[in-house]
Amino acid sequence: MHELTHVLIDEAGIPVLGREEDQADYLTAITFLSQKTGFPVLPAEKKLPVVNEWPPDFGPLTPSAITRMQDIIDSWRIEWTISEQDNMALPWADPHALEIQRLYDMVCLTYGRDPRRLEDFRIQNELPQDRAELCEEDFAKSERGLEFIKTTLKNHARTPPGPSGKTPPDFAIDVKFEEAVSPPHKQYQLWLQNASIIYPLIDALNRDYYLPRRIVVRFRVCGQPNAFWEPKNAEVNMCYELLDRFVFLSQFRKQYAEDRRANVLGKAKASLAFQ
């Protein structure tokens, strides 16, 4: 979704007034969390049996939405912990923020969606109170930004939606899979094609956004754990090697993320009990 947000920024001609990677992170989080711009729910007959609550429902923030954001946050926590333990040089010149900064941004936006119900979420993810005071406003501003992108794309689409309300195929996002070679990558391909959120997500985007040209999301071997948008070719490249990286990180989830969150929240509640 982060890479598809780059697509929306480019195709809508949205000005980038800061770091584009930050903007993509923020708009991705808002896509998952927003009431105003959340994707409509797919009809039951189009839902895959293993796809739960995607796209997210309108209304109160659902447990599945919080879980999805927590998974993203935990991944940044694990990446940052590994880099600290390995004394890796910090990539100060990188176009992306540091993992720990991206972590706090995601915590802030999630908390800002419903601060009255997510105080425990804020505490266990170690978001300082002085930052938390700004999060509700940050969420509202980002939500307005995503609504602006949607409106801009609808107003500037070269071809209006057809009678059925769907975007014409020539101006939609399409998914392609290059044949995987290694056994793990073949397993990823099988899962992505048959049991993932990929197709419901693309269907929802094609209903919600009218793009000025056809965009291809291509899953392939890249030689690096990465994902990237190429405006010249109108392609989003999703590397099977990135899933290798996610599988590697998953082995540290309990130790570096889940146990840490439980410990932080337990200490905070114990401290309050003795005040």
Q: The sheet that has 215-220: what strands, in order across it?
A: 173-177, 215-220, 235-239, 227-230
This prediction has a pTM of 0.85
Q: Return the beta strands (E) in 66-197 as ranges.
A: 173-177
pLDDT in tens, 209-241: 788 889 999 999 999 999 999 999 999 999 999
Q: Which of 243, 201, 203, 197 is nearest to 219 (CA)?
A: 243
- Terminal Cα distance for the chain, rounded: 43
**Where in the chain are the domains?**
2-266
Phi and psi torsions of 173, nearest 5°: -85, 130
pLDDT in tens, 90-133: 999 999 999 999 999 999 999 999 999 999 999 999 999 999 99
Asked if 180 contacts 188 with a C-beta cutoff of 8 angstroms, the reply is: yes
pLDDT in tens, 67-80: 989 999 999 999 99
Tokens of 33: 């969390």
**Dist. CA 216–CA 214, nearest whole Å:** 7
